[in-house]
Structure 1
Amino acid sequence: MRLKTLTAALVAGITVSITPMMASADYSAAEEVKVLIGFKPGGGSDTLAQLVQPYLSESLGVNFVNEYLPGAAGAIAWTRLTTQSPKDGSVISVTNTPMLMTNYVMNDAISYRQDDFTPLANVVTDPAIIVVSNDSPFKTFADLKQAAEKKPGTVTVGNSGVGGDDHFSTLLVENKAGIEFKKVPFQGDSPSATAAMGGKIDASFNNVGTVYNQIEAGNLRALAVLANERLDILPDVPTLKEQGIDVVAGSSRGYSAPAGIPEEARKQLVAAFDKLATNEEFLAEAKKRALNVDLVTGQEYDQMFQDVESQVKEMWANMEASDSQK
């Protein structure tokens, strides 16, 4: 199961989004901050950026400019951040866990490691969810599981890219349920959901924040959420645990800079994220977008990186050991 190569080159098309110009610059490191986003516009990372960055811009008095570098489950952007970006606080990136760690744990070709980053803040934690088109013959996860048991490797399920959190969630479910899907990678969670909605794949492993509006609109049907308990916003969607498959997974999205940025820049950035915790307008906007705010900043986010890496390494070792016994 070892993945030996990156799935895309370290050059990609760029789409730019700029926050409104501020009257004065209070941030000591730069007059403008570039934000690297490793997925296409419209996905969960972009949703986070569009929500958060106007508030950061207001706090710091600088513009935030998004550069989209989709491919390799975020690894293109994170490789750019850690190896090709200035370490002066002028470039940061949306960082997704466990995806950032699954990339290098599962793929020897990826050279960055978690200590190549300065973790700034986790902002949201988005549970994983399994969705199908509203006219799909699969009405429940049991239906999907039964089809996979009947014809292993033929039921097509999308994910946000090889090594990404959705891919890893799929592997966990396969391992726990004793089934095999035909896994279809996309450059982000939004394209995967769109493919499921159009019936081009049987199902998509996704995140709640990305697909919630389409579920509410009746375009997608949710089969299961990979959370400890049912979600208040989707009370009729059962957890996988309820269905006898003990898998809890999802994606946490935040921001990091390269390792070694000036301490003053780090403190200013972390302080701007800390302000979000008491910003009622921000919290209300996050709720509207079905985003579960989970603010973890500074050293605590650094510890979160270390804890997630340990968990991913343990799970991956267990899965490889299981595969070797088959």
Structure 2
Amino acid sequence: MSTFSDPFTLSPELAAIAKRWINTYSGRNSLAVTQLFSTSDAVTYIGSDEGELFVGDAVRDSFAAFTNGQVKLVPENVEATGYEAGNFGWAYTTLTIFAPEADMRVNFRNTFIFSLEDAVWRIVHIHNSNPKPNMEAMGYASPHLEKLAAAAGKDEIILGNTGIASVMFTDIVDSTALAAATGDAKWSRIVTGHVATITAQVAAHSGNLVKSLGDGTLSTFGSASAAMQAAKAIMQDTAGGQTEPHLRLRIGIHTGDVVEAQGDFLGTVVNKAARVAAAASPDEIRVSDATRAMIGGQADFTFDDATNMRLKGLEGEHLIYRLEWAS
């Protein structure tokens, strides 16, 4: 039996070049931007806007013209990881772009593919995307959350004595790409450790971990405040992790009476919690209006970005809030 040998190694050099391209692009340095591209006719760029697909000289010409514009862009929180194997390499970045004149911030992700040309790494492909929640962008929830919600119906859920349960879903952002980059064995160890961290925090806040499926988890709590404290602690633990890949989560919480209506209403509460989680952006905790109302004016929690939106499979619009978690 042959053993697969991973040809890719971490490349701080390619990560640095990816960051350099972002900084020169944001700084409107047209010469530096175009010189980082390959001279090949195969060079391509795919952007997040309609029609942003350029090939060959069109890539170099469009960026040379665009970077000579007057709009100021400021990259923030840029993180990059690169890999290389022989004359080929790739990198990915996550960042926020701030436009001071418009007072707007937009989250972005970039993927770079490099070739080694005359001993110099050149960019042959860039894919730029704006990571919106699936529910907002395409009207469907994360398949991980869908599967987890369906699987939960097969288990006995311990609710406590009140009949009111706060249901919490957690989901790792970009888990498919991270699993492919790290390999099955390492990813399995990462997910096992991640679920162990969540299990400990859920228990510490008197909750019950109902199920984990892949990289997602479903838990229930006897109170909304306990669920939100657990969610904040989980986010803080994850953000403080020092290992690679660095995990980013989305968490959703919904609260409802799951006793009087028996199984059917239990399913509705669980399904809505999954939809709320799917509406969250990376590094966000989103809670339903019902969960927010449970804690009244408690000073322990801060909410913002109240948003009315449609949730798949549920009638009407639903008010959800972002729960701040950074200490």
Does TM-score exceed 0.5, indicating one fold? no
Give the TM-score range, shorter chain.
under 0.3
Structure number with greater Rg is 2
- Tell me the TM-score normalised to structure 2 length: 0.24
Q: Which structure carries more relative contact order (alpha carbon 8 Å, separation 6+)? A: 1
